[in-house]
């Protein structure tokens, strides 16, 4: 199994529901990849792209749905699409952590 890969993406001033797409150069990701995504509000406290930015659970609800990994559709890199939900009436800064694993091992139909 390949080594898992994680990247943290910072989205400033988010609110409501929005579609996101991240293509990942150098990461072997296809439509059969297992991808997990977490999301939370982040508190800047310094430069916007500070890898040590403080994530908080004490703000509005922030979550991800409809996680859809994809291969390199017309480009050199695969990636992942998802819906980002921010239940806030004012824009907040959000950090999303995307973790990519190998392909799923098996499939079932119920």
| Statement: the pTM of the whole predicted model exceeds 0.85 | yes
Q: Give me the pLDDT at residue 54, please.
A: 83
User: Comparing 52 with 106, which gets the higher pLDDT?
Assistant: 106
User: Tens digits of per-residue pLDDT, 33-43?
Assistant: 999 999 999 98
Q: Which two tokens stand for residue 80?
A: 């992942």
Q: What mean pLDDT is predicted for residues 44-70?
A: 85
pLDDT > 90? residue 80: yes
Sign, CA torsion 15/17/19/21: positive
Q: Give me the pLDDT at residue 75, please.
A: 73
Does residue 70 contact residue 31 with C-beta atoms inside 8 Å? yes
């Amino acid at each position: 199994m390949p080594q898992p890969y994680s990247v943290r993406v910072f989205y400033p001033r988010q609110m409501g529901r929005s579609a996101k797409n991240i293509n990942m150069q150098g990461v072997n990701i296809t439509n059969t990849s297992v991808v997990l995504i977490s999301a939370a509000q982040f508190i800047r406290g310094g430069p916007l792209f500070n890898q040590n930015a403080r994530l908080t659970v004490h703000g509005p609800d922030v979550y991800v749905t409809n996680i859809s990994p994809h291969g390199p559709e017309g480009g050199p890199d695969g990636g992942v699409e998802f819906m980002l939900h921010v239940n806030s009436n004012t824009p907040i800064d959000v950090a999303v952590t995307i973790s990519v694993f190998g392909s799923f091992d098996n499939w079932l139909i119920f």
